[in-house]
Structure 1
């Protein structure tokens, strides 16, 4: 498990955490920020905090949930700073999913990516954590600093919107 807030983690601990959790942390950051470079920056910051012992993991019940919460907070901080600076440079949306060699699957992947982009940020975050990270509503609530019922509601509303947005794709099939 994670070290105390007073001393940093060893290189071996950081390597283990990276090996076990970096993909999930990256996907979560990407769901929030939609910018690969920004996600890499916040992951670097998170691992630096862990290395320096600036993370407070004493109350973390689940290591991955704690790390996803660190990513969540770093992403929110970054978005707030960007809003204050009014830095709204247009960027191509980052891809949450890998490309598929099958043209039909690739078309669906692109439509799903577009549909996720249309969800409000709060709903998109919960949907990605629930479906792709397989987190429980209690874990999502801890990661996002919201009540479990709010997490469940955001998930339900997000799924309803995704169904509506993807209905034409289903009808084509």
Structure 2
């Protein structure tokens, strides 16, 4: 093995160790099974190994390549049919998983795909709204709205409340008038809240 190949293997191995688990979670958020997400991760890293030099912004490149390959993977008819018959949840829980963690995973899995994708990229990948917007080709405001409404729905689900009350806020992808979202102004309520 040449020293060039060895150094390519080193940076790629370090990147794999740092990012593979997060990419699998992201794949699950995009609707892949655990095995499909692992397959896509392997495809992306095989492609990276073929490069003579690492990309400049390795994590951004990796997430973008993973997302593109995920969508290519999902277009396959046979894989789509297999995914429809798969009955496992998109989060595989271990037997020792705490009940609160299981509830959080279940609530996250129930979010609309766009909100789930933004939350995973923001919390687990620690991307900014601008970075996520560039990745998913939406405006930063739309991304921020998906994140905000997704978190509201998660909080409501984890508190045992139904998120239908949140629907009065409007579609998560549309701008919301903040004053109307708060409901009618009630001076007594505002005074009590100030105390």
TM-score (norm 1): 0.74
**Higher-RCO chain (CA-CA 8 Å, sequence separation at least 6):** 1
Q: Deviations over 1:108-150 (max 9, x none)?
A: 1111111111111111010111122222111212332322222
Shift of the alpha carbon at 1:32? Answer: 1.6
Deviations 1:75-116 (A, max 9, x none): 2222232489544212311426x7585xxx711111111111
Change (3 A) 1:119 1:50: same
Deviates more, 1:122-131 or 1:11-20: 11-20
CA 1:23–1:86 in 2, change beyond 3 Å: closer, same or farther? closer
Deviation at 1:52, TM superposition (A): 2.1
Aligned equivalents of 1:14, 1:132: Cα separation in 2: 20
RMSD (Å) for aligned C-alpha atoms: 3.0
**1:1-173 pair list within 5 angstroms:** 10-53=8-51, 57=55, 62-82=57-77, 86-87=81-82, 88-95=84-91, 99=94, 101=96, 106-168=98-160
Which structure 1 segments of 5+ residues have no match? 1-8
Q: Structure 2, unaligned stretches of length 5 or more? A: 1-6, 162-195
Instruction: Check the 8 A contact 2:29/2:120 in 1, yes or no.
Output: yes
Structure 1 CA distance, aligned partners of 2:79 and 2:44? 22
Cα distance in 1 for residues equivalent to 2:53 and 2:81: 29
Cα gap change, 1:54/1:32 in structure 2, threshold over 3 Å: closer, same or farther? farther
Q: Is the 8 A contact 1:30 1:39 kept in 2?
A: yes
